[in-house]
Every structure is written in structure tokens, then in C-alpha cells.
Amino acid sequence: MSNMLTRVAEIVSRMTIRDVAREAGVSVGSVSRALNGGKNVSARVARDVAAAAEKLGYQPDLQARSLRTRTTGMVGCLVSDVANPLYASIVQAAEARLRDAGLLMVVANTANDPARERAVVAAFRSRRLDGMLVAPGSDENDRAWRELAAGGAPVVILDRDVPHEEDTPWPAVLVDHREGARTATRYLIGLGHRRIALLTPGARMRPGRERIAGFKAAFAEADVDPAGALVCLQESSMDFAQGDALELLRRDQRPTAIIALGTRILAGALRAARDLGLSIPADLSVIAVGDTDLAAVHSPAITALRWSLEDVGRAAAELLLQRLRGTGEGPSRALLPVDLVLRESCAPPTAK
């Protein structure tokens, strides 16, 4: 019994810097200096302190250190849903880079709920996180953004247009969805398509808005009838997309090509095509927005717009680190390219 208690005590009671100081026969100040900078410490003290720390299994309390240094070594990451592959890869890459820099990452999902966003921002602020990566669910949540700015900690926005004070845009990593959509659309128009449907979730967020803009821009440039540019706003659910696509493909003047976002909407469109006996690419050309497993594995393989989520995460981490170190400003925004990966799902429309 007493044996057990001893063991528990051994395990639980943590060694403090004072214990180390006593063991090494020096002052706490010396221990701190020896363990940190290594500056202004004699070789003897350095050695004794290291030995004592090792012997006692001392591990500094970073929590306490934070109180003094006013830096927590943690950054927050606010996304709507880490389980969404789109965010998961970004978070993954950012975390890797930040951990290499010795920082821990705190994640919080908001499910696109403005109230939660505010709560998370407040929580991050109260916990004094050194910085944050944010991908809000909507661009409109003024109270949250004011809080964000008031926090004083560096912030990097992930592929969103968050409103800002006049002349101080938020540092951000942006993806060039507009140019991507334009390229894809131009490609389809080049193949001879004149009625193309863009299946995308609402224009509430930057990526959707930019895609729609690029889509329309391609039609305008090519000088073809803009009425052929069919924008179909989608809930991000497979069933919903399937229903919508069915309706769309049954029309008299059905589109001869579809540009569909992500896994769910793409899957819905593919199912609809199958249900109607339309073969790809003979009867219908398809381009996926975002290169998912499904696009790559489907037969025929689906031509897709691809951008690097890892790059987004890495760039965001880099931007944040730059601000944290306060080293000469450098660029505060990054615009990442989108590529069109040609596969087997597009062909000229069959004459009618």
C-alpha cells in the first residue's frame, strides 16, 4: 500500500526547476539559463545542471513558461470540419510544418456555425495562442472577425475572403479557382461544347464565387452564347446532386458537358448519367473539380481540376511562421495554381 503510494507519488509529482537547482547545487536562475540559452553559464554549471535534470527526469512546465514569456507555442486552426478531405489535407500539411517549428496545433470544428466560430475565436484568444489559421464557413461573421483582429495574434486566412479594415487585408493563402474553372470551361468549349453545366455548392464562399466567375469568363471570352453556361447551385449531398443532375440531363436542350465539384456531387452526377444510359464521354463529358480518389479510379477516369492541398497547408504555415517571427514582412498573400489533369472523360459532343 505505502509502496503503491510511493510509486504514484514518483509518477505524478513533477520535478520543478527548484528541484534541479537543489540537486545541482546552483540557483534556479542558473538552471534556467543553462537549460535555455546556454548563454552566460560556465561549463561546470552547464554540466551539473544537465546531469541533475537528467537524473531527476525534469521536464520544464511549458505552461508556466508561457506565463512569463507571453508565448504559448501553440497555434489554432479553425475549420468547418476536419473530416472533410479538403480541410484534412490542409490541416495535415500545416501541422507538419508547424510541428517542425516546435509549435503545437489546436483544432476546432465550427460546422459553419457563426456562433461556434465566435466561441472558438474567443477560446483561442483566451488561451493566448500565438497565431491562428482560419477557414470560416462564410465570409460574414463580423463580430468574430473583429474579435479575431482584436486578439492581436497573427492570423492567416485559408482560401476565403474575410472582410477587413480598409487598407489591411488579412494575410491569406488563396487558390486560383477562377483561373482553374476558366481553363476547364475553355477546354470544353474548345472541344465544341456549347451547353455546359457547372454543379457547385452555393456562392457563399470564395471558392464557389471564383469558380462561377471563371466559368462565365470563359464563355464571354469565347464569344459563345452565355445562355449555355448553366450554373446549378448544389447542396453538397450525393442524393441531391443526383436528383438535380437527372432533371438537368432530361431537358430538351440538355448540357453536353458537366463540371462537378468534389466527391459527393460528382458521384451524384455520375449516377444520374448511368441511370439515363448516357455513356461518358460519348454522350456526356465530365470534369471533376478537385482530384479525388473517385475521379482517378472511375472508369473512364475523370478529367479533373487539381490543386495541391498540401501546398495550401504548407504555405499557410509558412506565412504564419513568418509573422510569428516578425521577420521583415515579406508577401502576405499567396495565390496557388490549379491544373487541369486530362484523362478520359471528355470528348467532342456528338452531333444531334
In this chain, which of 2, 3, 59, 327 binds a copy of itself, going by CB under 8 A?
Answer: 59
In this chain, which of 27, 56, 60, 112 binds a copy of itself, going by CB under 8 A?
Answer: 60
Strand pairing class (257-261; 74-79): unpaired
Residue 149 touches a copy of itself, criterion: CB under 8 A: yes
Distances (CA, A) of 337 to 172, 241, 253, 340: 14, 27, 34, 10
Q: From a copy of itself, DNA, none, which one binds at residue 236 (CB under 5 to 8 Å depending on kind)?
A: none
- CA nearest to 77, candidates 99, 106, 103: 106
Distances (CA, A) of 18 to 24, 42, 43, 154, 230: 10, 19, 20, 35, 71
Beta bridge partners of 259: 198, 287
Q: Quickly list DSSP for 312-336.
A: HHHHHHHHHHHHHHT-S---SEEEE
Residue 293 touches a copy of itself, criterion: CB under 8 A: yes
Q: Name the site residues for DNA (rule: CB under 7 A).
A: 14, 16-18, 25-30, 32-33, 35-36, 40-42, 44-45, 58-61, 64-65, 67-69
Our CB check for a copy of itself shows the closer of 46 and 123 to be 123
Q: How far is CA 178 from the centre of its chain?
A: 18
Residue 122 touches a copy of itself, criterion: CB under 8 A: yes
* 3-state secondary structure at position 40: coil
Q: From DNA, a copy of itself, none, which one binds at residue 69 (CB under 5 to 8 Å depending on kind)?
A: DNA
Instruction: Tell the smallest beta-carbon distance from residue 61 to DNA (Å).
Output: 3
Count residues near a copy of itself (CB under 8 A): 56
Q: From DNA, a copy of itself, none, which one binds at residue 40 (CB under 5 to 8 Å depending on kind)?
A: DNA
Instruction: Tell the smallest beta-carbon distance from residue 63 to a copy of itself (Å).
Output: 5
CB 325 within 8 A of CB 226: no
In this chain, which of 1, 4, 5, 12 binds a copy of itself, going by CB under 8 A?
Answer: 12
Beta bridge partners of 289: 261, 305
Distances (CA, A) of 319 to 71, 155, 251, 313: 18, 9, 48, 10
- The residue range among 123-131, 135-143, 171-179, 330-338 that interacts with a copy of itself, by the rule CB under 8 A, is 123-131
In this chain, which of 177, 195, 264, 314 binds a copy of itself, going by CB under 8 A?
Answer: 264
Task: Count CB neighbours of 123 within 10 A.
Answer: 14
Residue 152 touches a copy of itself, criterion: CB under 8 A: yes
Residue 5 touches a copy of itself, criterion: CB under 8 A: no
- The residue range among 100-108, 135-143, 181-189, 339-347 that interacts with a copy of itself, by the rule CB under 8 A, is 100-108
| Per-residue b or e along 211-245, where b marks 16 or more CB atoms closer than 10 Å to that residue's CB | bbbbbbbbbeebebeeebbbbbebebebeebbebb
* 3-state secondary structure at position 228: helix
Find the farthest-apart pair of alpha carbons in the chain and give their distance in angstroms, rounded: 93
- The residue range among 72-80, 169-177, 226-234, 320-328 that interacts with a copy of itself, by the rule CB under 8 A, is 72-80
Q: How far is the C-alpha of 288 from the C-alpha of 308, rounded, in Å?
A: 15
Instruction: Tell the smallest beta-carbon distance from residue 193 to a copy of itself (Å).
Output: 24
Residue 297 touches a copy of itself, criterion: CB under 8 A: yes
Q: How far apart are the first and last CA of the chain?
A: 89
Q: From a copy of itself, DNA, none, which one binds at residue 30 (CB under 5 to 8 Å depending on kind)?
A: DNA
Residues near a copy of itself (CB under 8 A): 11-12, 57, 59-64, 66-67, 72-74, 81-85, 88-89, 91-93, 95-96, 99, 104-109, 111, 122-123, 125-128, 149-150, 152, 238, 263-264, 267, 270-271, 274, 292-294, 296-297, 299
